[in-house]
C-alpha cells in the first residue's frame, strides 16, 4: 500500500488518543497491538516507529489523561482549590477506570516519573498557601496525594466493575453489604455495624469529607 497522505498520517498523539479510546471502551485488556493496528489501519511496525513499546504507550496515555485533569482552571481559597483539584482527579479516574491499576504500575516503574511530580506540584502549591509552617509542606502534600491515589483507585475499581458487569450501583453495594452480613458475625462485627452507612453514602461526598479530614489535621497540626 502507498504511504499515508498527510491527513491520516500517524503521530504519537494520534496513537495515544486511539489507545485511550480502546482502554476506555474495553478496559486494560482492550488495548493490544492487534486492536490498535486495526483501528489505525496500519501495521505494528508503524506504531513502533512512533512509540518505543507498550509500556511507554500506557505511560503516555496515563500522563495525557492526568495532565488534562490537572489543567482545569481553579479559583478560590486554597482549601477550595484543593477540593477542585482532588475532585478533578477523582472524576478522571472514574471516567478512565484503567487508570486505577495503571497509576500503580507507572509508579512502580519510575516512582517519580511524570505523574507524581505534577500532582505534588498542583496540590502542594495550595498547601503552601494554607499558611501552615513550611516544614510541614512535604508531609502534608504527601498525605493528600496518597489519599487521593488510594481513594481514586478504589472508586475506579468500583466503576470498572459497574461498567463491565452491567449492574447498577445500588445493586452492587447491596450485594457487597449482603455478602458481609453473611460472613461470620464474630469475625466482622465492624463491617456489620457500618452496613447502613455504606448503603447510604455518596462516593464523591465521602471523598471530599476525607480531604477535609486531612486538611483539618494539617491546619490543626500547623498551629501546635
Binding footprint of its own copies on the chain (CB under 8 A): 97, 100-101, 103-105, 107-112, 116-117, 120-121, 124-125, 128, 134-135, 137-143, 145-151, 153-154, 156-158, 160-161, 176, 179-180, 183, 187-191, 193-194, 197-198, 201, 206, 209-210, 212-218, 220-221
- Which is closer to its own copies, CB of 3 or CB of 108? 108
Do 126 and 78 form a contact (C-beta atoms < 8 A)?
yes
- Pick from 146, 52, 163: nearest CA to 103: 146
Which of DNA, its own copies, none does residue 170 bind (CB under 5 to 8 Å by kind)? none
Q: What is the DSSP string of 32-52?
A: -HHHHHHHTTS-HHHHHHH-S
Work out whether 187 is an interface residue with DNA (CB under 7 A): no
Residue 19, CB-side half-sphere exposure with 13 Å CA sphere: 27
Which of its own copies, DNA, none does residue 46 bind (CB under 5 to 8 Å by kind)? DNA
Cell of 203: 462516593
Do 127 and 140 form a contact (C-beta atoms < 8 A)?
yes
Residue 59 beta carbon to DNA: minimum distance, rounded to whole angstroms = 12
Q: Which part of the chain contacts DNA (CB under 7 A), choosing from 48-56, 101-109, 179-187, 206-214?
A: 48-56
Q: What is the DSSP string of 9-28?
A: ---HHHHHHHHHHHHHHH-G
CA distance 63 to 171: 33
Residue 194 beta carbon to DNA: minimum distance, rounded to whole angstroms = 35
Residues that bind DNA (CB under 7 A): 1-4, 9-10, 31-34, 41-46, 48-50, 53-55
Amino acid at each position: 500500500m502507498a504511504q499515508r497522505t498527510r491527513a491520516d498520517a500517524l503521530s504519537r498523539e494520534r496513537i495515544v488518543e486511539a489507545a485511550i479510546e480502546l482502554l476506555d471502551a474495553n478496559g486494560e485488556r482492550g488495548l493490544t497491538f492487534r486492536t490498535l493496528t486495526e483501528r489505525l489501519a496500519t501495521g505494528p511496525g508503524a506504531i513502533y516507529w512512533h512509540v518505543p513499546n507498550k509500556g511507554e504507550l500506557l505511560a503516555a496515555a496515563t500522563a495525557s489523561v492526568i495532565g488534562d485533569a490537572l489543567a482545569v482552571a481553579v479559583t478560590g481559597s486554597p482549601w477550595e482549590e484543593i477540593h477542585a483539584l482532588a475532585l478533578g482527579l477523582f472524576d478522571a479516574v472514574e471516567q478512565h477506570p484503567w487508570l486505577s491499576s495503571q497509576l500503580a504500575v507507572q509508579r512502580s516503574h519510575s516512582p517519580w516519573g511524570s505523574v507524581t511530580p505534577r500532582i505534588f506540584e498542583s496540590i502542594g502549591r495550595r498547601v503552601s498557601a494554607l499558611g501552615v509552617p513550611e516544614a510541614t509542606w512535604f508531609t502534608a502534600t504527601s498525605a493528600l496525594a496518597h489519599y487521593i491515589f488510594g481513594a481514586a483507585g478504589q472508586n475506579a475499581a468500583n466503576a470498572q466493575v459497574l461498567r463491565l458487569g452491567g449492574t447498577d450501583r445500588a445493586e452492587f453495594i447491596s450485594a457487597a453489604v449482603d455478602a458481609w452480613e453473611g460472613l461470620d458475625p464474630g469475625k466482622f462485627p465492624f463491617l456489620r455495624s457500618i452496613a447502613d452507612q455504606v448503603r447510604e453514602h455518596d462516593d464523591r461526598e465521602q471523598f471530599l469529607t476525607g480531604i477535609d479530614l486531612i486538611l483539618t489535621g494539617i491546619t490543626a497540626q500547623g498551629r501546635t
